[in-house]
Amino acid sequence: MNRLPGWIILLALLGSTCTWAGCLDNTQLTGVNLAGAEFNSKNLPGVFTKDYTYPSSQELAFVAAQGANIIRLPFRWERLQPRLGMAFDAAELKRLQTTIIQAQLQDLCVLLDAHNYAKYYGDPITSPAHQDAFVHLWVELATQLGNPEYVALGLMNEPAHIPLADWAALAKRTLTELRAAGLTHIVMVGGGGWNGLHSWFSEKDGISNATAFAGLKDPLQRSVIEVHQYADQYYSGMAQDCYPPAHFDQPFERIGQWAQDNGLKLFLGEFGMAATEPCLQTLEHFLQLMRGNEWKGWTYWAGGSWWGDYPFALNSDLLNPSPQWAPLKAGFYRGGDQSPPLPPQDASH
């Protein structure tokens, strides 16, 4: 029988009896996605190390050494729970637990990201059975993992396969049931559709994310609105062109004002760009646009050892680091006076 290493068991026991410093209490959470556990979604559940992978301890240490304080960890619902509403796969749960503990050793928070686009084995999660199982997934996973000082819950990546109004209702229900179960984790609530920052106010079927989530209430005030934003012509994250920096001023300002008006915080869970000079300028501008108090933070897309020649990818090479590392390292939150200064306030805004 496979057993957890002794140091992991010791940490787990300590975590049940001690109070950790709590990296999620940082004013800003800034880091990267470490992708791989969600790969090869056409082969589900798939074979570990053949179809998908998890971050290594060396990758986590490298990310922490650059100054990040959080990773966003995409995973597939079907791998954790191969049968709807039934028990978790023990090996997959252990992989999640091990990654969290290894990250915690580096003082990295972990944002768990159900990377499913509102589908389960290809079926939209629109039926009562699917939605009940989704709520159960998060309540049970948060209960088993515990550790709310280091683990945040990202309910669903880009829920494009469910009507926006239905997703908003399901997300709010999940939050309500997490709190009713006494779970105190930070909850990242993504918008409906492809969750674009640029389209936050766009209506589909008579409703927009701005309208659907304006009334989001959390008795613990530990929920954050997650959005995504890519910089190419169609905001797809599939091309290497980038709009110039100023193109994004108005969308960031508008959603920032919306967040302030509704007493909410924002988190940019995905943004990535090629290593061209125009794109690097836009990347730097993104980071400047997220220095206001309405921003809880961001995670760049993406790091991970299986990307090959993906143009947005971050490597783990000290001698020849990906060009995107330089602006990200300059923008990572470091606490107090060491963090990048806030931009000057324009009195006309």
For residue range 45-100, list pLDDT tens digits in order: 999 999 999 999 999 999 999 999 999 999 999 999 999 999 999 999 999 999 99
Residues 6+ apart with CB under 8 A from 48: 91, 92, 95
Annotated catalytic sites, by residue?
158, 270
Task: Determine which of 169-173, 198-202, 204-208, 275-279 has the lowest per-residue pLDDT on average.
Answer: 204-208
- pLDDT > 70: percent of the chain: 90
**Within a 13 Å sphere around the CA of 269, how many CA atoms are in the beta-carbon half?**
31
Both tokens assigned to 79: 């791998």
pLDDT at 7: 37
Average pLDDT, the chain: 91
For residue 133, the tally of other CB atoms under 10 A from its CB is 18
DSSP string, 225-243: EEEE---STTS-S--S---
Three-point CA angle 258, 188, 69, nearest 5° = 105
Task: Determine which of 9-18, 90-99, 271-280 has the lowest per-residue pLDDT on average.
Answer: 9-18
Residue 35 CB-density burial (10 A; 0-12 exposed, 13-18 middle, 19+ buried): buried
Check whether 149 has a pLDDT greater than 70: yes
Q: Using CA of residue 157, residue 154, residue 289, residue 271, what is the dihedral sign?
A: negative
Rounded to whole angstroms, how far apart are CA atoms 45 and 95? Answer: 14
